[in-house]
Structure formats: C-alpha cells, structure tokens
Chains A and B, each alone.
Chain A
Amino acid sequence: MDIRTHRSLIILFLVSLILLFVRVGIPETRQILSILFFYIALSEVFNLFTGLTLYVCFGYVAFVALGMYGGGATIKYLLSASSPPPLAVVLACAFAVAGILALILALAVGWISVRLKGAYFAIATIGLNEGLKNLIEGTGIWGGSSGLVIANDLIQSYNYDTFIFVTSELADYLIFTVYAVTILCIYLVIKSRLGYGLAALREDEEAANVMGVNVVRYKLIVFVISATLAGMLGAGKMIKDVAIYPPQAFAVSYTVEAIVISMLGGLGTVTGPVIGGLIYGVLKYVLTVSFPGLQLLALAPALMAMCVMFPYGIVGWLRRRFKGSKIESLLI
C-alpha cells in the first residue's frame, strides 16, 4: 500500500493530534478545546449522513440525547450494585449501550424514512426530536421531565478525585476518540464502493437507482453508522456533563450548530467540519463570553446567508479555487 494515497487523512490526523497535545500540555486551553472537540465531532457525525447523501434530518440531536440517556442509565445501573465494577468496564458498557440504543432507533426510523425522497425524508424525521422528548416526559422513564443525574453515583462508587478526573479529563479524550473514529469512518466510506454509490445518488438519485445502486440500502447504511456514532458521542457528553434534562438534551441548537459547521466547512467533506468547527468553536467561545444567550439570534441569519451565497462552504470554495493543483487533492 502506498502511503501517499492517504496523505490527506494522515495530515488531518496529525493536526488533530497537535490539538490533543495542546489540550494535554496547556491546562488553560482545556475549556475552549473541549468545546472544539465536541463540536467538530458533532458535525463530522452529522456530515457523515447529511454531507454524503444531501438528506437533512432535523431531529438529529435525538440520537445524541438518546446516547446521553443510554450511557447515563447504564452507569447508574452498574454503580447501584453493592460492589461497583471497575471504571473502565462501566465506561465501556455505557458507550456500548449508547451506541446500540442509537443504532436500534436509527434502524427503526431509518427503515421507514430512507425509502422517502428529499422533503418527505425531512418530514419523517423532523418530529424525531420532539417525539422522543415527549415519550420520555410522557412515560416518565429515565427520570422523565426531572432528568437523570449520575454525579453522586460516580462520587460514591469511586472517590472525588476520580470523579474530577473522569469528568474534566477523560471525557474529553473519549469525545476526541469518537471524533477520530468518525473521521476514519467518513474517509473509508468516501473511498469505498458505498461512497461512489452515494456520490451518484447525490448527483441524480433516480439515475443511480436505475444504474444498479441500491439507494435505499446505501442511505440506510450511512444513516445507521452516523446515528450510532452520534449515540456514542452522547455517551461521551454524558460522562462530561454527568446530568441530563429533557429541555437541554433535546435543544434544537445542536442540530442548527451541526448544520452551520458542516455547511461553513463544506458538506460531504472530511476536512470541512474540522475547519468549520475550529472557526465556529472560537466564535462561539467569544460570543458566549460577550453576548450570552444570543448565539442562535446571530447563527440563524448567518446560516440563511450561507444558504444563499455560500452553499459549498470553505472547502468547496478552496477546491474550486485550486482546481487541478496539489492543494485540491489534499482537501478531502
């Protein structure tokens, strides 16, 4: 295997590793870099489905929230035993359960919705977020509308220092791991038969179908992969936040942010969300400090302007600008 064929991916991983080392080495960057890791991971996961298919799922945050609930409930259940299992086992189970729950939900919703085209898909999934939230509040599972808190369970089962380490250090590295895995997934998908089929689907779904691309199966595969990773990202966020309440967990702002970052960087690209996430993360950090609570008021017009004037994002623009040169081949 020639390593040069994958050099764009290697460069991206090196940049990410540098960010990680900065995070480990300089404690002052902790706050902003953990925001960055989360948002880049969120939009990479979102991009894996929406970028590659150009189908938008407005209820996407439901998978992250389900992962948070699944992970949190698993941790609470395992720690309620008289002798709690080792931390690593607990966290691994939390991630596994979060991923599996998101996978099941994605299969159930996706099995119906990916058969539909364009706007019909959006209709089928826009209520996903609201629906799951109302199911949890209505039936009262997982604490219902009063939320699920695992901080005390962690402190009592281990000790306070471990709790601080897990929530402020380990959680960031876990989120970073989800981010790295997602990048690898998108890259592999793009370079595979699946990726070429999806490229054909983006150009013309009917034609791709006629030419033998099983569009329904292809859409379902990326939908499920993306949702599973979103669930695992949720587990990471749960370990970081140690609490979840329905109004915040199902906040529409996550969906908006994922769309903004993906479109700013470039839909359907691997590098796009990283570039978009870096810009957005820094902007958000500055905005939340100077104008708390007004970020969506600023984000929504920015997103509208992007739709009208700049639909291909930064990476899309750079690709056109440097068409045919070496730079284009680096911008995956």
Chain B
Amino acid sequence: MVTAEYVIFVTIAGVMLGTFYGLATIGLSFTFGILRILNSGHGSFVMIGAYISYWCFALLGLPPLVSSLLAFAVGFFMGFALYHGLISRVLGGPELISLVLMFAFGIFLQEVAKFSWSASPRGFTWGLGSINIFGYEYPLTRLIGGVVSAVIVLVLYVFLFRTKSGNAIRSVVEDPEGAALCGVNVSRVYALSLAIALGLTVASGALSTLFVSGGIEPYMGDPYTTRAFAIAVLGGLTSPFGSFLAGLLFGIIENLSYMLLSLANVGNPFSMTRFLTFAMILLVLLIRPQGLLKR
C-alpha cells in the first residue's frame, strides 16, 4: 500500500541519493567542460574511491568521512599524473583517441583492482543506526553522505567563484586563447582541473559506501559510468553545477521509478531501473541535446 508518507519518504531518500549522484557526476562535466575530454572510464575512479574507503575502514578503522579526504588526495594526484603522462599528448587530436585512451585507462584500473584485491565483492558496515522519517527507518549514514556531498559541492563553488585559480579555470572555459593572452597558464589550468575532477570523483566513490555498504568489486563502476552520463546529459554536459542539479533530479527519479517498478511488478526492478537509465540518455539526447536545465 502506497501512502502519501511513503512517497514523501522515498522522495527525501531520493534527494539524499541525488546530492551524492550530483557529486559523483560533477567531475565528469568538469573535465568535459574544461579539457573537452570525455572521461569514458569515469566509473573506475568511483570504484577506486570505494576501495580506499573499504581499506581505510578495514585496516585503520577510519570512517568514510575521513577516508574521502584521502580519496580526494589520491584522485588529485592521479589527475596530475594522468594529465602530464598521457592526456597532454592527445589534447587537440582526434576525439576518438582521447575517448579510447580514457576507456582503456578505466579498464586498466579495473584490472589492477581485480589483480590486487580479487574480483569477489567486499563490504563493511559503519553502523550509526537510523532515524525515523514518517514511520520509515532511514540509515543515518545515508543522511551524512547526502549532506557531506552537498558541502563538498559548495566548497567547489566557493573555490571557482572566489579564488584566483577558480577565476583562471573559468576564464579558460570561456575562451582558452583569450585566457592565454591574458597571462593564464592554460596547460596548468588543464592539469589542475583534471586533478580536481578526478579528486571529486574518487572522493564520491569513498562516500558511495555510505549508501551501498556492500558490493565493492572491480566492476562496480560500470553502472556509475552510465548513470553519470545520463545525469551529465540532463545537466547539459559542460556545466558542473548543472550536473549537480541534474543529479538531484535523477536521484529522485531513480528512487520513485524503483518504487513504481516494484509495485507494477514488471520483472526485476533493480535491472529495469538500470535499463531505464540508458533509455533516458537516448530520450534526453533526442528531445533536448543541450540538456534539460539549459535555456
């Protein structure tokens, strides 16, 4: 039986999940908006973050909140290394090359994870209990995950609009050549942007363990890739904050559609939700290729 309270509860849960999805997607649109490179291996960076969170908890007893900072640092470093090692060599070349390069890098991360930590799923529980929303139990960790995601996005906003480096990044988005003429080191901005983008993505992977406590395995990133693409397309692909809002929307849609699919009893709702994600990408690209949230 579906009551109004239940729908509200599902929506609130969707908002929390949505802020997390927003954070998990921001890195993708950040990279595409600034470097014009589509990170086709996006999900693998989420997976690395989840493993960092797992090992920090299992070995050191650190909760995901702390390990997300470490995850950000790891992603940040990876971004710099990746930019100077590979990306800078293919910038400006055919789009196909950078797409294949990032795809191959994603596969490489998956295989390294599988080689080092085996393919069997792992998980851990950071038991904090749950709170009561309209008579339904909601795990406290998810609430924390949603709020922390929102805070991180706020920090990014302040960085982009209130600091000198942030202004440099925004000027490169507007016009790379013009920015270079005004004395902005465009190559440094590219490296910094990729580092921030991957840092955020890996950090979101660490926070993902607050929502799904199990199922940490090398290929867990693939659904995140599809999802992030759907969200980024909804938000117009090049705008990080558009992606965040689209993520919020997507979290609500996903939760509600899961609820409806379970009620309608058409097949396995878990798989069907994932199929609908793909169908949604095509639909949005068909109707509004510039994104739902852009004018």
| Chain A residues near B (Cβ < 8 Å) | 50, 54-56, 58, 109, 112-113, 115-116, 118-120, 122-124, 126-128, 130-132, 134-135, 137-140, 252, 256, 259, 263, 267, 294, 296-297, 299-301, 303-304, 307-308, 311
Contact of A252 among B107, B233, B271 (CB under 8 A): B107
Are the C-beta atoms of B115 and A135 separated by less than 8 Å? no
A55 to B96, CA, bound (A): 6
Are the C-beta atoms of A131 and B105 separated by less than 8 Å? no
Are the C-beta atoms of B278 and A130 separated by less than 8 Å? yes
Counting CB contacts under 8 A, is B2 at the interface? no
Give, as a whole number of angstroms, the nearest-CB distance from B61 to chain A. 31
- The DSSP consensus for interface residues of chain B is helix
| Chain B residues near A (Cβ < 8 Å) | 32, 38, 40, 86, 89-90, 93-101, 103-105, 107-108, 110-112, 114-115, 222-223, 225-226, 229-230, 232-233, 237, 266-272, 274-275, 277-279, 281-282, 285-286, 289
Contact of A300 among B90, B104, B268, B270 (CB under 8 A): B104
Are the C-beta atoms of B103 and A127 separated by less than 8 Å? no
Given contacts A134-B271, A139-B267, contact A122 B40 (CB under 8 A): yes
A307 to B105, CA, bound (A): 11
Give the top 3 A-B pairs by smallest Cβ distance, nearest first: A131-B278, A138-B271, A300-B108
Contact of B94 among A54, A137, A296 (CB under 8 A): A54
Given contacts A124-B285, A300-B104, contact A311 B97 (CB under 8 A): yes
Are the C-beta atoms of B101 and A109 separated by less than 8 Å? no
A304 to B105, CA, bound (A): 7
Are the C-beta atoms of B285 and A137 separated by less than 8 Å? no
A245 to B183, CA, bound (A): 57
A300 to B101, CA, bound (A): 9
Give, as a whole number of angstroms, the nearest-CB distance from B152 to chain A. 24
A198 to B71, CA, bound (A): 44
Give, as a whole number of angstroms, the nearest-CB distance from A127 to chain B. 4
Given contacts A123-B285, A127-B277, A303-B104, contact A137 B268 (CB under 8 A): yes
